[in-house]
Amino acid sequence: MPVARMLQQVVGQMPGRPACGCWTSAPLARFLGTSPRQIPADANFYSSSFSGTDQPRVLITGGLGQLGVGLANFLRKRFGKDNVILSDIRKPPDHIFHSGPFIYSDILDYKNLREIVVNNRITWLFHYSALLSAIGEANVSLARAVNITGLHNVLDVAAEHNLRLFVPSTIGAFGPTSPRNPTPDICIQRPRTIYGVSKVHAELMGEYYHYRYGLDFRCLRYPGIISADSQPGGGTTDYAVQIFHDAVKNGKFECNLKSSTRLPMMYIDDCLRATLEVMEAPAESLSMRTYNVNAMSFTPEDLAQELLKHIPEFQITYNVDSVRQAIADSWPMNFDDSNARKDWGWKHDFDLPELVTTMLNFHGSDTRVAQAN
């Protein structure tokens, strides 16, 4: 009997085969030996699917960057401190190490990743490890390894252990041939950075694993994210983070993008809430697995004008970095996130004035703000 027909018969007899006839997830894949990764026959599988009544057991990769620590704090408030494990390849500062579970995890080491997932009974994985746009252009082979090979490891571990997987994508997944004002969810995506290429790859691979293996993959395309409690990590939108540090400390800022460069942006609190909301959304409400999310859109000049309302002596000068400028010029100016708003009720809280007030308060510029008012 032809192998294909034999397989069809075996598949037909397997419990849990979906009525739609599409491929089901890990058990079938393992049985047929078509798992994304070959697993020893005597492996003792632990099914960690999230029932919906338990608290999830969460792992965050690349957690010591701009966004991971905030995400860990946010999720710990919701799910309990010990249910959220932060991981990275860097050594955590004392206050982070003592704030909850931290573990070393190199996403390029597949066995290390699998061991962590198994030993800690992980059910949800937030995959934050990456090299961002500008630093990626300076380290293409490392960016390719971390952003693409690392993603493959994460996808395989998630599929094999039945995890719910969140992978952030970005406005950087679009390119100069995409519509820029606004940029819809579905349109041409031909980014010109290794970062963008790797993120389009992540979107497509995650959606493919969802279709092929039933992986519960969820992805948001974040705009530039602005947060007060972290240092910029090599991105093109980082000027909008650094400007607050410099405005409060020195009253001036040298911007590496042109004054008229418009990009979509979001305050960290909105970003973290969007991330949890899409992870908690009922599967049937998700008409897609990758969504644009947005809050505001501004230029360096708009941001400087808003800062001047609080710090009247603030000065901005421009010294354009050609690599970052070329990247920014190829990215969306406005993001159309109507599908996220329609499907799972996304709604942002912070526009530019609230963003600036909140960031200045965090940076301790109360005195300057008070003087200005």
Ligand X SMILES: C[C@@H](O)[C@H](N)C(=O)O
∠ Cα 103 104 105 (to 5°) = 110
Name the active-site residue from 46, 110, 195, 208: 195
Which residues on adjacent β-strands are paired with residue 165? 125, 217
* Nearest partner of 216 among 279, 152, 122, 272, judged by Cα: 279
For ligand X, give the closer residue by CB, 105 or 237: 237
- Binding partner of residue 68 among ligand NAD, ligand X, none, CB cut-off 5 to 8 Å per kind: ligand NAD
Q: Using the rule CB under 6 A, is 70 a contact of ligand X?
A: no
Distance in angstroms (rounded) separating the CA atoms of residues 299 and 144: 30
Please say whether the beta carbons of 291 and 340 come within 8 A.
yes
Q: Using the rule CB under 6 A, is 183 a contact of ligand X?
A: no
Q: Which residues contact 213 (CB under 8 A, 6 or more apart)?
A: 23, 24, 25, 26, 29, 36, 159
For ligand X, give the closer residue by CB, 63 or 224: 224
Q: Which two tokens stand for residue 98?
A: 């003592």
Which residues on adjacent β-strands are paired with residue 330? none
Which of the residues 229 through 248 are near ligand X (CB under 6 A)?
A: 235-237
Indicate the SS3 state at residue 28: helix
Which residue among 105, 153, 170, 297 contacts ligand X (CB under 6 A)?
Answer: 170
- Binding partner of residue 89 among ligand NAD, ligand X, none, CB cut-off 5 to 8 Å per kind: ligand NAD
Please say whether the beta carbons of 223 and 236 come within 8 A.
no
Minimum distance from residue 150 beta carbon to ligand NAD (Å): 6
Q: Using the rule CB under 6 A, is 69 a contact of ligand X?
A: no
Minimum distance from residue 49 beta carbon to ligand X (Å): 31
Minimum distance from residue 60 beta carbon to ligand X (Å): 17
The CA dihedral of 102, 104, 110, 116, to the nearest 10 degrees, is -40
Return the residue nearest ligand X (CB atom).
235
For ligand NAD, give the closer residue by CB, 349 or 366: 349
Which residue among 171, 205, 311, 316 contacts ligand X (CB under 6 A)?
Answer: 171
What are the CA-CA distances from residue 309 to residues 32, 95, 136, 175, 227 (Å)? 64, 34, 35, 34, 20
Q: Binding string, 85-124, against ligand X, x = CB under 6 A?
A: ----------------------------------------
- Catalytic residue check, 195: yes
Minimum distance from residue 172 beta carbon to ligand X (Å): 5
For ligand X, give the closer residue by CB, 100 or 172: 172
- Between β-strands 263-267 and 296-298, what pairing exists: parallel, antiparallel or unpaired? antiparallel
Minimum distance from residue 233 beta carbon to ligand NAD (Å): 3
What are the CA-CA distances from residue 329 to residues 172, 196, 250, 262, 274 (Å)? 11, 14, 29, 9, 26
Q: Give the interface with ligand X as residue ranges (CB under 6 A).
A: 132-133, 170-172, 195, 224, 235-237
The residues annotated with a catalytic role in the active site are 195
